[in-house]
Chain A
Amino acid sequence: MSRYVIRRLLQIPFAVLGITLIIFVLIRFRGDPTALYLPPDAPPELREQMRHNLGLDLPLPVQYIRFVSNMVQGDFGMSMWHRQPALDVVLSYIPATVQLMGLALVLGAVLGIVLGLLSATNKGSPLDMVLVSISVFGQSMPSFWLGIMLILLFAVNLRWLPASGRGGWEHYVLPTFTLLMFLVPPTLLLVRSSVLELLREDFVLVARSKGLADRAILYGHVLKNALRPTITSLGMQMGRAMGGAVITETVFAWPGLGRLSVQAVGNRDMALVQASVVILAVWVILCNLIADVANASLDPRIQTD
Chain B
Amino acid sequence: MSISLSDSEGSSRANRASGGVAGAVHWAGEHKSLVVGAAILLVVVLVAVFAPVLAPRDPLEQDLFNRLQPPSLSSEGDTPFLLGTDGFGRDILSRILFATRISLTVVVSAIAVSSSTGILLGLMAGYYEGRIGTVIMRAVDMQMALPAILLAVTVIAVFGTSLPNLVIVLAISGWVTYTRIMYSETLSIKQMEYVMAARALGASNLRIMLRHILRNAFGALIVVATLQVGNLILFEAALSFLGLGVPPPTPSLGSMLSEGRNVLAVAAWLATFPGMTIVFMVLGINYLGSGLREILDPKLRIG
Does any Cβ of A come within 8 Å of B147's Cβ? yes
Interface residue? B100 (CB, 8 A): no
Chain B residues with Cβ under 8 A from A139's Cβ?
A: 286
A22 touches B275 (CB 8 A): no
Complex: how many Å from CA A233 to CA B260?
34
A284 at the interface (CB under 8 A from B): yes
The number of residues on chain A lying at the interface, defined by a beta carbon within 8 Å of a beta carbon of chain B, is 53
- Chain B residues with Cβ under 8 A from A141's Cβ? 275, 278-279, 282
**Complex-state Cα separation, A42 to B84, whole angstroms:** 49
Which residues between 12 and 36 of chain A lie within 8 Å of chain B, taking CB atoms? 15, 18-19, 22-23, 26-27, 29-30
A-contacting 9-mer, from B67-75, B88-96, B156-164: B156-164
Asked whether A50 is an interface residue with its Cβ less than 8 Å from the other chain, the reply is no
Q: Are A250 and B264 in contact (CB under 8 A)?
A: no
Contact A23–B154 (Cβ < 8 Å): yes
Please state if A284 and B145 are interface contacts (CB–CB under 8 Å): yes
Q: How many residues of B contact A (CB 8 A)?
A: 44
> A55 → chain B, closest Cβ, in Å?
19
**A193 to B264, Cβ gap below 8 A?**
no
Closest to B141 in A: A15
CB distance from B224 to the nearest CB of A (A): 15
B265 cross-chain contacts in A, Cβ below 8 A: 156
Known A145-B278, A247-B242, A250-B242; judge A26-B145 contact (CB<8 A). no
Partner of A30, one of B149, B158, B230: B158
A87 within 8 A of B: no
Q: Is the CB of B264 within 8 A of A148?
A: yes
Residues of B within 8 A of A101 (CB): none
Q: In this complex, which of A136, A196, A265, A276 has the most chain B Cβ atoms within 10 angstroms of its Cβ? A: A265
Indicate if B302 sits at the interface (CB-CB under 8 A).
Answer: yes
For chain A, residues 226 to 262, give those with C-beta under 8 angstroms from any C-beta of chain B: 236, 238-240, 242-243, 246-247, 250-251, 261-262
CB distance from A191 to the nearest CB of B (A): 12
| CB contact list, B139-173 vs A, under 8 A | 141-142, 144-151, 153-159
Specify which chain B residues have a CB less than 8 angstroms from the CB of A270 in the assembled complex. 157-158
Q: Give Cα distance in the complex from A163 to B262, angstroms.
A: 11
CA distance A137 to B155 in the complex (A): 31
- Considering residues A152, A163, A240, A270, which has the most beta carbons from chain B within 10 angstroms of its beta carbon? A152
Q: Is the CB of A242 within 8 A of B271?
A: no
B142 & A18 in contact (Cβ 8 Å cutoff): yes
Q: Are B257 and A145 in contact (CB under 8 A)?
A: yes
B156 contact set on A, CB distance < 8 A: 265
* Chain A positions 267 through 305: 1 when the CB is less than 8 Å from some CB of chain B, otherwise 0: 010100100110011001100100000000000000000
CA distance A261 to B149 in the complex (A): 10
In the complex, which residues of chain B have a beta carbon less than 8 angstroms from the beta carbon of A156? 264-265, 268
Give the complex CA separation of A251 and B142 in angstroms: 30
Bound-state CA distance A167–B170 (Å) is 35
Closest to A272 in B: B157
Closest to B227 in A: A139
Of residues 236 through 263 on chain B, the ones whose CB sits less than 8 Å from some CB of chain A are 237-238, 241-244, 254, 257, 260-261
The CB with the most chain B CB atoms within 10 A, among A136, A142, A149, A163, is that of: A142
Q: Given A142-B238, A151-B261, A288-B145, do A280 and B303 touch, yes or no (CB 8 Å)? A: no
Contact yes or no, A281 B302, CB < 8 A: no
Question: Given the complex of chains A and B, what is the CA–CA distance between A188 and B158 in angstroms?
Answer: 38
B46-85 vs A: 1/0 string, CB under 8 Å?
A: 0000000000000000000000000000000000000000
Find the residue from A23, A243, A288 having the highest chain B CB count within 10 A. Answer: A243
Does chain A have a CB within 8 A of B123?
no
Residues of A within 8 A of B221 (CB): none
Is B302 a contact of A280 with CB atoms below 8 Å? no
In the complex, are the beta carbons of A19 and B145 less than 8 A apart? Answer: yes
Partner of A145, one of B142, B244, B275: B275
User: Could you say which residues of chain B place their CB within 8 Å of the CB of A285?
Assistant: 145
Interface-central residue, A29, A196, A239, A250, by most chain B CB under 10 Å: A239
Is A19's CB under 8 angstroms from B257's CB?
no
Cβ of B102 under 8 Å from chain A: no
B120 interface residue (CB < 8 Å to A): no
Check: A90 CB closer than 8 A to any chain B CB: no
Q: Which 9 A-B pairs have the closest CB atoms?
A: A239-B147, A145-B275, A243-B149, A140-B282, A196-B303, A140-B283, A193-B302, A265-B157, A273-B157
Please list the residues of chain A having a beta carbon within 8 angstroms of any beta carbon in chain B.
Answer: 15, 18-19, 22-23, 26-27, 29-30, 136-137, 139-145, 148-149, 151-152, 156, 163, 189, 193, 196-197, 236, 238-240, 242-243, 246-247, 250-251, 261-262, 264-266, 268, 270, 273, 276-277, 280-281, 284-285, 288
- Please give 13 more A-B residue pairs, beta carbons under 8 A apart, in addition to A145-B274, A239-B144: A141-B275, A144-B237, A144-B238, A152-B268, A152-B272, A197-B303, A239-B147, A246-B149, A261-B150, A261-B153, A264-B157, A284-B146, A284-B147
